[in-house]
Structure formats: structure tokens, C-alpha cells
Amino acid sequence: MGKLPALSSRELLSALERMGFVVIRLKGSHQFLRHPDGRTTVVASHAGASVGPGLLMKILKDCEITRDELIANL
């Protein structure tokens, strides 16, 4: 397992959508995503800001995705 890349929220959302997640609703700058098998997560999309490593790990844990799976879908 290597280091996580610095990702913008747009890049993270694109990768999650490639893995089957869809945006189910918006609340302000937060996008709520759900996978058909029931996994859910929230991604904050602030312009010009990258997703921090702690938040990125929390999102991966919520989605039950490994670092390698995320990197493969970037």
C-alpha cells in the first residue's frame, strides 16, 4: 500500500461514480452518494480545495474500498 494521492473532490467523485456510486442528493456543498448494494458516503465539494488524507480514508472506509481500488479508478 502506497501513499494516497492528493485529490480534488471532483476527481474523487468521478472515481466513485466509475465504481458504481451515484449522487442521491445535495445539501449545500455536500454530495451524498449511494452504491446499488447499499454503501453510502458524503463528499464535500469545495472549489479549489483538495480532500485531506484523513477524510479520504474515512470515505474509503465508508465505501469499503481499498487504496488500490481507488487508484485503479482514477
Torsions phi, psi for 31 (to 5 deg): -110, 125
Say which CATH number the domain at 49 has.
3.30.920.30
* 2 part of a folded domain: no
Between the two ends of the chain, the Cα-to-Cα distance in Å is 16
Within 1-74, residue ranges assigned H as helices are 9-18, 53-63, 67-72
> Are 46 and 52 within 8 A, CB to CB?
no
Whole-model pTM: value is 0.89
Q: For residue 30, what are the domain limits?
A: 7-72
DSSP collapsed to 3 states, 58-72: HHHHHHCCCHHHHHH
**Number of domains present in the structure of the chain:** 1
pLDDT in tens, 22-51: 999 999 999 999 999 999 999 998 888 899
